Structure 1
Amino acid sequence: MNRRTLLGSAAALVAASAIPAFAQDEKLKIGFIYVGPVGDGGWTFQHDLARQAVEKEYGDKVETTFIESVPEGADAERAITQLALAGNKMIFTTSFGFMDATINVAKKFPDIKFEHATGYKRADNVATYDARFYEGRAVIGTIAGRMTKSNKIGYIGSFPIPEVIQGINSAFIHARKVNPDVEMKVVWVYSWFDPAKEADAAAALIAEGVDVFMQHTDSTAPLAKAQEAGVLGFGQASDMSSFAPKPRISSIVDNWAPYYIKRVGQALDGSWKSEATWAGIGDGEVVIGEITEAVPAEVKAEAEALKAKIASGEHHPFTGPLKKQDGSDWLADGQKATDEELSGLNFYVEGITAPMPK
């Protein structure tokens, strides 16, 4: 069912609560909560493509619906509850800030299977799934380090959470590996999807002399600003191919479809259980999009070689020697950061001069 679901009144919610539990001879009703609009061209767009892939894979065995542009916080709890009361027996909540809301609603509906993207809180009926975005940032950071002429690269951050800080650090580490003179400027917008703020952030970076920037926000507004200014950027979450070959010189694509298909299949056959999944380039969940003709052949080859090493496990983007921003030791020579360390990452690495938000 390709439509936005809105239950309009308290009476409708109460009536919906009488829907019986899922049985094998019924359609599995699946709900999705999106932090942005399905037309954002980035994060939410990719999750909705995965929803559509589920429908294509399972046909009349499933029925899906979604609520888009749900703010994180109390509104999220209300929206998730709406989907639960509407008879959905599996609910995907697709943003970090939906974590507590997901856990709270899951306690009230123990017969519903919840899947939360990028969070870390689980329960018997709540699984978590994430992608190693930092692996992709290593690859595009390498390209950025090679492509900058001003030696100033930029990063537009959403919220200062570990997932985003991982990406900033990874991009900088790998940009500096190929260009020791690189500086990184960081601007925070405190939103996942706000085209106006994202465009302003891009303009601020460009005003500081940045000629290549990356983003961990969801709209195409930064690339539009880059196009106006004649600087380079990367697609985020989706290919954003309409901006190729310039300013979009490559992209990180979040490929959620295989995971969604697998987990829905497990719900259908009764093998679903709560677990934590963190997949990356080697799993096909983090994809490096087309590296365009604007990138020299030798730089493209270098980036593709790095991607292959990450995929095979030969290279870990966080391998020492690495120090923290304040100069204190973090990782010794050859030491790799653990998943536990990365999951709580709250500092920049040495060389990034931007202040860390409090």
Structure 2
Amino acid sequence: MPRKLMLSLTAIFLMILSACSSSPTSTTSTTTAPASSPAAASTAGTTSSTPTQTEKKLPRVAFVYIGVPGDGGWTYEHDQGRLMMEKELGIKATTVENIPEGPDAERVFEELAQKNDIIFGTSFGYMDPMYNVAQKHPNVKFLHATGYKTLPNMGTYMGREYQSAYLVGMAAGKMTKNNHLGYVGAFPIPEVIYTINAFTLGAQSVNPNVDVSVVWSNTWFDPATEKQAAISLLDKGVDVLAAYQDSPAGIQAAAERKVWGIGNDSDMGRFAPETYISNPKWNWGPYYVKTVKSVMDGTWKSEAYFGSMKEGITEMAPLGKNVPADVKELIEKKKQEILAGTFDVFQGPIVDQDGKVRFEQGKKMTDEEILGTTWFVKGIKGVIPK
């Protein structure tokens, strides 16, 4: 910056001192407030030698992914949520991809806990590894997607995807010609089981004659394995195929047979536009923004968050271009009932696949009962491995 030759040595010294005091410290683990914030406001034009306000340090945030954002499904939507959080809060988060559930995850969480203030783990199998690490780092906030274990510094988060799954099931029940639906499940855990149940109940609500055959891939993201599981159901003659995995392999296999397909997690219509019906879709951004903000303002508390369609964390992807208008109207009406709170997916009577009445007429399942579901509803063909 140019200086006038006649400035005294004392004035030069004061200006240099002031400039040095307002410069942020450069580190690899600290993210500072963006230049547009008051903390980083420009001091151009002032002649005061008083040091400017120290830039406010933002929390260091990390995300651990089971797959890659390019999966087009689960990890993609979490990454979209991260990007929204970064844009709104001016934070650049760390991401670690392709981390398997188990010992590797615990090692990664331990390493991240030494460098970050908030850590999001985005897969069910991360629960115990994260829990173990959280106990050793009480000053770090840990958030686990889809789990049920909490600590004072560890919370869980999930959405009522079963609400959108019910609506997609309604579409499947209207679109089928032979009343045989198929569903490829990822792992036999409550999250997947109650989603399949909701899908089935939705289909039965518009077509009492449908049945749903279920097979398990035991994968979250393995397109080859998931395609083979889908083919096994297509070979049995199902004419609508749904899948609970992170890849579009199931709807692609269905499209090859000219069978209606239903994806998961993200809008997968682009993978099979002619035969696509819809699928449940996630929207994690608002949750990530809210959670990080609460840590920043000191109001964060550990909780088991279970968001709904009304809160926007889960929704139904747009219905495919070849879904009839009357089906779209029917589903939209039911969607509005869910949003208004006048309809509950898991309200009795609910009968399991063995004919046992699980919930009597009018009785609603509690969140604990939903999250602990280990049984199939009537109309599902398939077993839940022990």
**What SS does the corresponding residue of 1:248 show, helix, strand or coil?**
coil
Alpha-carbon offset, residue 27 of structure 1: 3.2
Query: After superposition, where does 1:266-345 map in structure 2 within 5 Å?
Result: 266-345=294-373
For 1:331 and 1:233, locate their aligned partners in 2 and report how far apart those are by CA, in whole Å.
31
Q: Please name the residue that 1:110 is paired with.
A: 138
For 2:262 and 2:379, locate their aligned partners in 1 and report how far apart those are by CA, in whole Å.
22
Task: State whether structure 2 residue 68 is matched by structure 1 residue 37.
Answer: yes
Q: Quick one: which of 217, 241, 244 aligns to 1:189? A: 217
Contact in 1 for aligned 2:161/2:315 (Cα 8 Å)? no
Contact in 2 for aligned 1:39/1:45 (Cα 8 Å)? yes
For 1:202 and 1:351, locate their aligned partners in 2 and report how far apart those are by CA, in whole Å.
19
For 2:191 and 2:362, locate their aligned partners in 1 and report how far apart those are by CA, in whole Å.
23
Alpha-carbon offset, residue 252 of structure 1: 1.6
Q: Quick one: which of 141, 145, 151 aligns to 1:123? A: 151
Alpha-carbon offset, residue 32 of structure 1: 0.4
Q: Please name the residue that 1:48 is paired with.
A: 79
Task: State whether structure 2 residue 239 is matched by structure 1 residue 211.
Answer: yes
| 2:148 partner amino acid | Y
Q: Please name the residue that 1:11 is paired with.
A: none
Task: State whether structure 2 residue 121 is matched by structure 1 residue 90.
Answer: no
Contact in 2 for aligned 1:21/1:111 (Cα 8 Å)? no
Q: Please name the residue that 1:176 is paired with.
A: 204
Q: 1:7-37 CA deviation, whole Å, 9 max, x = no partner?
A: xxxxxxxxxxx97999982232110011111
Task: State whether structure 2 residue 109 is matched by structure 1 residue 80.
Answer: yes
Number of equivalences: 338
Contact in 1 for aligned 2:275/2:320 (Cα 8 Å)? no
**What SS does the corresponding residue of 1:283 show, helix, strand or coil?**
coil
Larger CA deviation: 252-261 vs 225-234: 225-234
Alpha-carbon offset, residue 58 of structure 1: 1.2
Contact in 1 for aligned 2:281/2:315 (Cα 8 Å)? yes
For 2:364 and 2:146, locate their aligned partners in 1 and report how far apart those are by CA, in whole Å.
22
For 1:330 and 1:78, locate their aligned partners in 2 and report how far apart those are by CA, in whole Å.
41
Alpha-carbon offset, residue 349 of structure 1: 1.1
Alpha-carbon offset, residue 244 of structure 1: 5.2
**What SS does the corresponding residue of 1:213 show, helix, strand or coil?**
strand
For 2:267 and 2:209, locate their aligned partners in 1 and report how far apart those are by CA, in whole Å.
29
Query: After superposition, where does 1:217-256 map in structure 2 within 5 Å?
Result: 217-243=245-271, 245-256=273-284
TM-score when normalising by structure 1: 0.91
Q: Quick one: which of 172, 177, 187 aligns to 1:149? A: 177
| 1:136 partner amino acid | S
Contact in 1 for aligned 2:242/2:251 (Cα 8 Å)? no
**What SS does the corresponding residue of 2:77 show, helix, strand or coil?**
helix
Percentage of pairs with the same residue? 45
For 1:293 and 1:50, locate their aligned partners in 2 and report how far apart those are by CA, in whole Å.
27
| 1:257 partner amino acid | G
Distance 1:21 1:147, change over 3 A: closer
For 2:55 and 2:234, locate their aligned partners in 1 and report how far apart those are by CA, in whole Å.
56
For 1:275 and 1:213, locate their aligned partners in 2 and report how far apart those are by CA, in whole Å.
35
| 2:70 partner amino acid | G
CA RMSD of aligned residues (A): 1.8
| 2:208 partner amino acid | P
Task: State whether structure 2 residue 56 is matched by structure 1 residue 25.
Answer: yes
The structure with more radius of gyration: 2
Distance 1:20 1:63, change over 3 A: closer
| 2:235 partner amino acid | A
Contact in 2 for aligned 1:103/1:122 (Cα 8 Å)? yes
Alpha-carbon offset, residue 243 of structure 1: 2.7
TM-score when normalising by structure 2: 0.84
Q: Please name the residue that 2:13 is paired with.
A: none
Distance 1:116 1:49, change over 3 A: same
| 2:110 partner amino acid | T
Distance 1:288 1:19, change over 3 A: closer
Contact in 1 for aligned 2:156/2:305 (Cα 8 Å)? yes
| 1:75 partner amino acid | D
Alpha-carbon offset, residue 127 of structure 1: 1.0
Contact in 2 for aligned 1:21/1:89 (Cα 8 Å)? no
Unaligned runs of 5+ in 1: 1-17
